[in-house]
Amino acid sequence: MTGSHNMQSVVTKALIYDLKKIVPSGVFVNLSLAKISRWNIGGLADVIVRPQSPEQIRKLREYFYKNNIAHVVIGMTSNLLFSDKGLLVPCIQLGYEMNKINIDSNIVTAQAGAWVPKLAREVQKAKLVGAEHICGVPGTLGGLVYMNGGSQRKGIGSSVSKVVSIDSKGGYVTRNRVDCLFAYRSSIYQCRDEIISEVVLNFEDADSSSLVRKEMLSILSSRKKKFPRKIPNCGSVFKSDPSAYSLYGPPGKIIEDLGLKGYARGGAKISEEHANFITNIEGATSSDVIFLIELIKERAFSELGCQLNAEVKYVDEHGCICAADQIDKNKAKF
Ligand SMILES: Cc1cc2nc3c(=O)[nH]c(=O)nc-3n(C[C@H](O)[C@H](O)[C@H](O)COP(=O)(O)OP(=O)(O)OC[C@H]3O[C@@H](n4cnc5c(N)ncnc54)[C@H](O)[C@@H]3O)c2cc1C
């Protein structure tokens, strides 16, 4: 075993040798998730593979399928809370590579690793309109489509015309927008074992590209004022579901009304700047964050009758991903 945890890892020297044959310059062993993840939380990842092409993803999946090896896919970790036990299964990460963007008239074709703020800027520079709401969303296009992420009550799904993914056996799957089942912060990819490799988006011609740029700058500046920027965090912890929003207002206000703004547990703190953010003020563990998530959820329900649902996802040491408020509590104790 290569991992330095005491727990059973599936990552052997033979496995690493095989992975290096498929992705010669993209295999990284024993990476600290606390160092590479957005929240700066998590133990060691035994092996992270950063493929450079869809074909490499296809070969990896084929290999994992044939050898019955569980694995997990991540983007730039902007929506992920990793276990302090790390990752004992191989992890495929998109974002460092596979980030090509091509714009032809109104059609934008981008690889899943494309950095979303860069994509939004390219769309504006091509004199198109419609990507402004994603200009401040830090993550990859694959992660954005998986989450149907966006801002200003919008989701990327409405601009998608086609998504190409790779299934667990290494086969390509192509879906049009309707088949992606986009809903509020949700897509079909959350219940399919597929890795998104390429996305085709459609944007309208802009009447004025400079007005689009102005709108993007105004979105970025209001985000700068509202959100904690320098302290590690994972964006909004709870979903601002439209139906709950109309009854109770945004999650940040609910949490503030509960008097929990600034409340801390271990190294994790409910942000003073925006109560729907949990910041890692110093050496937070995943159990610190989970404690705060559970506390908010219980108080919102018992005091206001409001059911908050986590947007942030938890990744356990076996690579299983679930909403961070749906973890089997006994399993999550470290
Ligand atoms: C400061 C801050 C502000 C944020 N603001 C917003 C916002 O305004 N709106 C918003 O929607 N989100 C926001 N987020 C959350 C986050 O940026 C988005 O959810 C983003 O789309 C996640 O992309 P990622 O590449 O980091 O994915 P990750 O966090 O790495 O992964 C998220 C999920 O997507 C899956 N996934 C990733 N890539 C693929 C792929 N290629 N194929 C299949 N599945 C994949 C992963 O398995 C995981 O379940 C914010 C986060 C931060 C830190």
- pLDDT at residue 246, as a whole number: 87
- pLDDT at residue 332, as a whole number: 46
HEC per residue, 191-238: HCCCEEEEEEEECEECCCHHHHHHHHHHHHHHHHHHCCCCCCCCCCCE
Expressed in angstroms and rounded, the spacing between residue 33 Cα and the centre of ligand 1 is: 16
Question: What is the mean predicted confidence (pLDDT) over 12-40?
Answer: 97
User: In Å, how far are 129, 156, 208 from 125, measured between CA atoms?
Assistant: 10, 18, 11
- Which CATH fold would you assign to the domain 13-93? 3.30.43
- pLDDT at residue 329, as a whole number: 57
- Give Cα 54 distance to the centre of its chain: 19
Length of the chain as a residue count: 334
- Which CATH fold would you assign to the domain 230-332? 3.90.78
Q: For residue 288, what are the β-bridge partners?
A: none
Q: Which of 132, 198, 311, 317 is catalytic?
A: 311
Task: Return the domain boundaries, the chain.
Answer: 13-93, 101-213, 230-332
Q: Which residue has the tokens 């992420």?
A: 149
DSSP reduced 3-state for 82: strand
CATH ID of 101-213, from 3.40.140.10, 3.10.129.10, 3.40.50.1980, 3.30.465.10: 3.30.465.10
Q: What is the DSSP letter of 127?
A: T
DSSP reduced 3-state for 50: coil
Give start and end residues of each alpha helix (H) in the chain.
Answer: 13-22, 33-36, 54-66, 116-125, 141-147, 209-226, 242-248, 251-257, 286-304, 329-332
- pLDDT at residue 242, as a whole number: 80
Q: Which of 100, 75, 98, 90 is nearest to 27 (CA)?
A: 90
Answer yes or no: are the C-beta atoms of 41 and 34 closer than 8 Å: yes
Does 334 score more than 70 pLDDT?
Answer: no
| Segment 56-67, tens digit of pLDDT | 999 999 999 999
Fold matches, 13-93 and 101-213: no
- pLDDT at residue 164, as a whole number: 98
Q: What is the DSSP letter of 33?
A: H
Does 91 score more than 80 pLDDT?
Answer: yes
- pLDDT at residue 330, as a whole number: 47
Find out whether the beta carbon of 130 lies less than 6 Å from any atom of ligand 1. no
DSSP reduced 3-state for 59: helix
- pLDDT at residue 333, as a whole number: 40
Pocket test for ligand 1, best of 89, 98, 145, 147 (most atoms within 8 A of CB): 147
